[in-house]
Amino acid sequence: MASVFDRIRAGLAKTAQQIRERLGASEPAHAGATPAAPGGRSTNAKVDTVEAVEDALIAADVGLPATQRIVAAMKADGVGTPRERVARVVLNILRDVQPTPAISTLPHVILVVGVNGTGKTTTVGKLANVYRSAGRSVLVCAADTFRAAAVEQLAVWTERAGVDLVRAQSGADPAAVTFDAITAAKARGREIVIVDTAGRLHTRANLMAELDKIRRVVGRVVPGAPHEVLLVLDATVGQNGLVQAREFVAASGANGIVLTKLDGTAKGGVAVAIANDLKLPIRFVGVGEGLDDLVPFDAATYVDALFVDKW
C-alpha cells in the first residue's frame, strides 16, 4: 500500500492543481515582480509573486484571516521565493496548535462529534481500523441512537475492522449507551473506546446539552476522560464549515480535527484556516470511502504537496 505521505499527497491533488494553476497562469504581470522559478522563462513560467500566492490561498479556501497572516509574514521574511516563504509560514501555522494528547491512561476514550453528512460515522469505522491495525484493542459505542441507519452502518464497519460494538435500541438515551460501552470496555480490558455521537437533534441547544451529558458520564466512569474529542469537518464545505466548527468546539471541548473528503475537493487549504482560527491540530484526514482511507495528518507533507512538490 502507498505510504501515508503519498496518500496525503494524492488526497490533496485537486487543491494542489488549483494552486499550481493560479501560480502558473501567466508571466509576472508587473515590473518588479519576483522572477519566475529557475528554468521558468518558458511559455508556462510560474507567477511566483506574493500577490499570486495570496490569490491562490484564497482560491484554495485558506480564508481571509489566515491569508492576511501569511502574506504579512511573507513580506517580513526576505529569504527565498514567495513560494518558499509561504511554505515556511504555513508550516508554522499548522504546528502552532494545541498538542495532541498522548495515550496515557486506559481505556483511552475518544468522542467523535460533528454534524450529519460530514462523514462522522465512516470516520468512526476508519478510526477503529487505524487503532486496530496499530495493535490496539478497540470498542466502538453507537451513541447516535436517533439514526438507526447510522448504527447499522457502524455495525458493518466495526465487523470489517474486527472490533467490538456496543449499541442500544433505537431512541435509547445516548449517555446511558455510552456509560454501558465504557463499563464494558473496562470489564473486557479494551484499550481504546470510540464514541459516535449524534450529529443533529431538534435544536442546537439540545445537541450541545447531549454532548455535555455524554462528556460528564464518560468522566464519571473514567476520570480524566474523554481524552480526545475529535470534531469531524467536511473539507468540501471549506470556509463555510468554520462558523459551525467554532460552535462545536465551544460546546464539546473538541481538541482535535478530522478533515474528511479531502480527496474530493480543491478547498484543501481549509486545513490552514482551521489551524489558524481554531488553534486545533488536524489529527487525521479522510482521503476516500474505504476502511483504510483515513491517514494521520502530516503538516510537512501537506506543505510539500501544495507548495513544493513537482513545480
Total residues at the site for ligand GDP (CB under 6 A)?
Answer: 18
Q: Which stretch binds ligand GDP (CB under 6 A): 43-51, 60-68, 89-97, 120-128?
A: 120-128
Nearest approach in angstroms of CB 52 to ligand GDP is 29
As beta bridge partners, residue 7 has none
Complex with ligand GDP: residue 49 or 118, whichever CB lies closer? 118
Whose Cβ is closer to ligand GDP: residue 11's or residue 82's?
11
Three-state DSSP string of the chain: CCCHHHHHHHHCHHHHHHHHHHHCCCCCCCCCCCCCCCCCCCCCCCCCCHHHHHHHHHHCCCCHHHHHHHHHHHHHCCCCCHHHHHHHHHHHHHHCCCCCCCCCCCCEEEEEECCCCCCHHHHHHHHHHHHHHCCCCEEEEECCCCCHHHHHHHHHHHHHHCCEEECCCCCCCHHHHHHHHHHHHHHHCCCEEEEECCCCCCCHHHHHHHHHHHHHHHHHHCCCCCCEEEEEEEHHHHHHHHHHHHHHHHHHCCCEEEEECHHHCCCCCHHHHHHHHHCCCEEEEECCCCCCCEEECCHHHHHHHHHHCCC
Start-to-end C-alpha separation, the chain:
26
User: Contact between 67 and ligand GDP (CB under 6 A)?
Assistant: no
Q: Name the residue number minimizing CB distance to ligand GDP.
A: 286
CA torsion sign for 202, 206, 211, 215 is negative
Minimum distance, C-beta of residue 277 to ligand GDP, in the bound complex (Å):
22
x/- track of binding to ligand GDP for residues 249-288 (CB under 6 A) = -----------xx-xx---------------------xxx
Q: Which residues in the 140-159 window bind ligand GDP by CB under 6 A?
A: 150
Contact region with ligand GDP (CB under 6 A), list: 59-67, 89-97, 101-109, 117-125: 117-125
Q: Which of residues 176-215 bind ligand GDP (CB under 6 A)?
A: 199
Q: How far is the CB of 211 from ligand GDP (least distance, A)?
A: 15
Q: Which three cell numbers stand for residue 52?
A: 499570486
116 binds ligand GDP (CB under 6 A): yes
| Only segment of 33-41, 118-126, 180-188, 303-311 that touches ligand GDP (CB under 6 A) | 118-126
Residue 92's alpha-carbon distances to 42, 52, 95, 267, in angstroms, are 33, 21, 5, 20
Return the number of the residue (191 or 298) whose C-beta is nearest ligand GDP: 298
CB of 98 or CB of 133, closer to ligand GDP:
133
85, 120, 190, 227: which one binds ligand GDP (CB under 6 A): 120
Among positions 117, 162, 189, 219, the unique one binding ligand GDP when judged by CB under 6 A: 117
At 200, list the grid cell.
443533529
Q: Is 292 in the site for ligand GDP (CB under 6 A)?
A: no
Least CB distance to ligand GDP at residue 310 (A): 23
21, 159, 247, 289: residue in contact with ligand GDP (rule CB under 6 A): 289
Beta carbon nearer to ligand GDP, 118 or 145: 118
User: Binding residues for ligand GDP, per CB under 6 A?
Assistant: 116-122, 150, 199, 260-261, 263-264, 286-289, 293
